Amino acid sequence: MTSASSADTSGRPNQPSRLAEILAALRDAAVAPVKVVLSYFGEHSILLGKSMAGLFRPPFRLRLFLEQMQFVGVGSLPIIMLVGFFSGAVSAQQAISALRIFNQERFVGATVGISLAQELAPVFTGLMITARAGSGMATELGSMRITEQIDALTTFAVDPIQYLVTPRVIATILMMPIMTMVFNIVGLTGAYLYSIVLEHIDLGQFIEQFTYWTDPKDYVIGATKAAVFGVTLSVASCYQGFNVRGGAKEVGLATTRAVVAGSVSILCTDYFLIDVFHILWPYKS
Amino acid sequence: MNPPRANEPPPAAVPAMPGENLAQRDERWQIRVRGLHKTFGPQHVLRGIDLDIERGRTNIIIGGSGQGKSVLMKHLMGLLKPDAGQIWVDGQDVVPFNDLEMARLRRKYGMVFQYAALFDSMNVVENIAFPLIERYKLTRAEIMERVRDLLRRLDLADVAGIEQKFPPELSGGQRKRVGLARALIDRPEILLYDEPTTGLDPIATKNVDEMIRRTADEFGVTSVVISHDMASTFRIGDRISMLDKGRIIVSGPPDEVLQSRLPALREFVETSGLVAPETGVEA
C-alpha cells in the first residue's frame, strides 16, 4: 500500500498526499497528449531515417523501386488526369465569375495557372495519391504483418524496412512531382477548354496573361511541395501498415488512419511550405 | 524457488548450471537456453526458461495457449531479445549478437510459420527461391534445379501448374509444404516449426507430421516444433519439453514425459485423449 492512501497517527486521511496524487494525475493528463504527439513524430522520423539509410546500403533492389513507381505513378495516372481536368475547369469557372465583376476575365489563364502550379496540383495530387496508393501501402504492409510475412523476411536476414518501406517512400517522392506536372498540364487543358470554348475568352489574352504571370519558379515550388508531400504521405502510410497488430479489423483501421494522417499531413505541411516559399520568392507585382 | 511475480524484474544475469561449459560446441545439444526471461509491459511471459535442443532430432515444445511458446520460438530465432538469460547455439551465446551477427546466424535456421507466411505477391517458385535470390548470385538454372528438387522431395512436383501458382490458390497442406520448401532451400541446420498442424484436418495433420519426420531423417536437420497437438507430438517427437506459466516443467524422451505425474502435464495429456484419465494407460 502506498503512503498516499495511508492514514496519519491521528487516524485522519493523509490529505497532502491525496492532493499530491490529484496533482500528479492532472500533470499526467496534461503531459499525455504531448507525449503522444512527440512519440508520433519521433517514430515517423525514425522510420523515415531507417528507410533513407536503406537506400544507400546494399543490396540494391531496382526491381522493387520500379514496381512501386509503377504502382504509385502509372497506376494513379487515370485518376490524376480525371481530377486534374475537372479541377482546372472548375478553377477557371470560379475565376471567370470573380474576374467578370471587374471586367478582367482575360486574367483567367494567369489566375488558374498560378493556383494550379503552386497549390491545386501538388495538394490534389497528394490527396489522390494518399487515397489510392497510400491506402494500398497501409493495407498491403498491414496484411503482410498479420500473416507473418514481415517476420518471414527477417528470418531470411532481409531488413524489412529496406525491402518494403524504402522503395515505397522513394517511389512516392520521385513520382509525386511528375504526377503534379501531369495534373498541371491536364488542369490547364481543362481551364483552357472551359474558358475558350464555353466562355469565349480571348485566346491571345488567355495565353499572354498566363505566360506573363506564371514563372518556372511556380512550377519549382509546386514540384518541391509535391516531393515533400510524397515523404509525409508515404511515411504515414507505411508506418500505419508496418505497425499493425491484430487481425483484419486492425488492417482496416490502419488503412483509415493512413489516409487521414496522409491527408492531414499534406494540408498542414502545405501551409508552412507556402509561407517559406513566399518568403524566399515573393509574388510578382 | 518461488516463481517471480508478474511485475518483479528479472535477474540481471543467469549463470550456467554448475559444471556446465556452454561455451563449447556440444555434440549432443545444439541449442542450450539458460534462465531466459521476457516481459511485455506488466506481463512476465518467460520466467526463467532452461531448455536443451538435441542435435539432429525432433524436439517438441508443448504448452497451452498463451504460455509463451511462440515468444520462446522468436527468441530462438533471434526475432526478440530477452530481458535476461542466455541462448547458446553451437557454443556461442547469441543474445549479445548485433544485427549483422544475427543475420549471419539466421542462415543456420529455417522457419516454417503457423500459416506458412508465404509472400502473396510471389508465385510458388519465387517464394521457395527467395532465400537463394537474396543471399547468393546463382543462375536461374541453378535456382530452378534446387527448387524442383525440393518440390519433388516434398511431393509437390505432381500438382498441376504448382510452380506458377500463387499462395491463395494452394490448399492448407500445400501451403505448409511450400513454406517448408522455402525454409529448406538454403539447407539449414536447424528447422523451427510454429504450430505446423494448426487449422488442418486430421488427414492433413498426419501428412504434415510425416513430412516433419521425413524431413528430419532425410535432411538431418535439428527440428524444433512448437505445438499443442498432443497426438502429433507423441507421433513425431524424439524429445518433448513442456512449457507452463513461462517455465519448462518437464523435458525428456516421450516415454519419460508420458510417465510424469506433474498435474499440468497430466491435465494436458488426459484432456487431449492420449491417455485415459488417472490411469496413465495409453488410450
The answer to whether the beta carbons of residues B261 and B86 sit under 8 Å apart is no
- Min distance A24 CA to chain B CA atoms (Å): 21
Q: Cα–Cα distance between A180 and A123 in angstroms, integer?
A: 9
- pLDDT band at residue A5 using 50, 70 and 90 as cut-offs: very low
**Alpha-carbon gap: B267 to the closest alpha carbon of chain A (Å):** 30
Round the average pLDDT of chain A to a whole number and report it. 90
CB contact at 8 A, A257 and A139? no
**Tens of pLDDT along chain B (283 residues)?**
344 444 454 444 445 565 666 767 777 889 999 999 999 888 898 999 999 999 999 999 998 888 888 889 889 888 889 999 999 998 889 999 988 888 888 888 888 988 889 999 999 999 999 999 988 889 999 999 999 988 988 888 888 888 999 999 998 888 888 998 998 898 889 999 988 887 777 877 887 788 888 888 888 889 999 988 888 888 889 999 999 888 999 889 988 888 888 888 888 777 766 665 554 444 3
- Structural element, H or E, at residue A210: helix A203-213
Residues of B with CB under 8 A from a CB of A: 74, 77, 79, 103-104, 106-107, 109-111, 113-115, 117-120, 130-131, 134-135
Q: Under CATH, what is the fold of the domain B29-119+189-271? A: Rossmann fold (3.40.50)
Residue A6 has pLDDT above 60, yes or no: no
pLDDT digits (tens, 9 = 90+) for A146-167: 999 998 998 888 899 999 999 9
Positions of E strands within chain B: 29-40, 43-54, 58-62, 84-89, 92-93, 109-112, 190-194, 222-227, 239-244, 247-252
DSSP B58-89: EEEEE--TTSSHHHHHHHHHTSS--SEEEEEE
Instruction: Mark yes or no for CB contact B111/A152 under 8 Å.
Output: yes
Band of residue A13 on the pLDDT scale cut at 50, 70, 90 = low
**Across A68-93, average pLDDT:** 95
Between B111, B115, B119, which is nearest A155 by CB?
B111
Q: Which residue of A has its CA nearest to B131?
A: A156
Dist CA B224 CA B31 (whole Å): 10
Contact yes or no for B115 and A148 at CB 8 A: yes
What would the grid cell of residue A141 be?
504492409
Nearest CA in chain B to A154: B79
- pLDDT for the residue B283: 39
Q: Do residue B134 and residue A151 have CB atoms under 8 angstroms apart?
A: no
Which chain B residues have a beta carbon less than 8 Å from that of A156? Answer: 106, 130-131, 134-135
What pLDDT is recorded for position A2? 41
CA distance B259 to chain A (A): 36
pLDDT of A3 over the 60 cut: no
Nearest to A147 among B74, B110, B115 (CB): B115
Choose from A22-26, A231-235, B200-204 the range with maximum mean pLDDT. Answer: A231-235
Q: How far is CA B71 from the centre of its chain?
A: 11
Quick check: A155 contacting B, CB < 8 Å?
Answer: yes
User: A266 or B158, which is more confident?
Assistant: A266
Interchain contact, A151 vs B113, CB within 8 Å: yes
pLDDT of residue A142: 95
Each residue of A104-143: b (16+ CB within 10 Å) or e?
ebbbbbbbbbbbbbbbbbbbbbbbbbbbbbbbbbbbbbbb
pLDDT at B16: 55
Among B106, B113, B120, beta carbon nearest to A157: B106
pLDDT at A94 over 80: yes
| B-contacting residues in A 39-68 (Cβ below 8 Å) | 59
Q: What CA–CA distances, in Å, run from A107 to A19, A95, A96, A99, B152?
A: 67, 8, 8, 7, 73
Instruction: Give the list of residues 6+ apart from residue B93 with CB closer than 8 angstroms, or none.
Output: B22, B23, B86, B87
Burial of B155 (0-12, 13-18, 19+ CB in 10 A): middle
Sheet strands side by side (includes B92-93): B43-54, B29-40, B84-89, B92-93
Chain A partners within 8 Å of B118 (Cβ): 149
Contact between B118 and A149 using a beta-carbon 8 Å cutoff: yes
ipTM for the predicted complex: 0.78
Reply yes or no on whether the pLDDT at A61 is more than 60: yes
CA–CA–CA angle B25, B69, B207 (5° rounding): 90
Min Cα–Cα distance to chain A from B135, Å: 9
Q: What is the pLDDT of residue B136?
A: 86
Task: Give the chain A residue nearest B102 (alpha carbons).
Answer: A157
Residue A155 to residue A113: CA distance in whole angstroms: 52
Report the C-alpha gap between A250 and B41 in whole angstroms: 21
Probe site for chain B from A63, A143, A149 (most B CB atoms < 10 A)? A149
3-state secondary structure of B191: strand
- Average pLDDT of span A266-282: 89
Residue with cell string 543474445: B95
What's the pLDDT score for residue A18? 84
Domain ranges of chain B: 29-119+189-271
Contact B59, B31 (CB under 8 A): no
Q: Where are the domains of chain A?
A: 1-57, 62-280
DSSP, collapsed to helix, strand or coil, labels residue B153 as helix
Dihedral sign from CA coordinates of A107, A94, A274, A215? negative
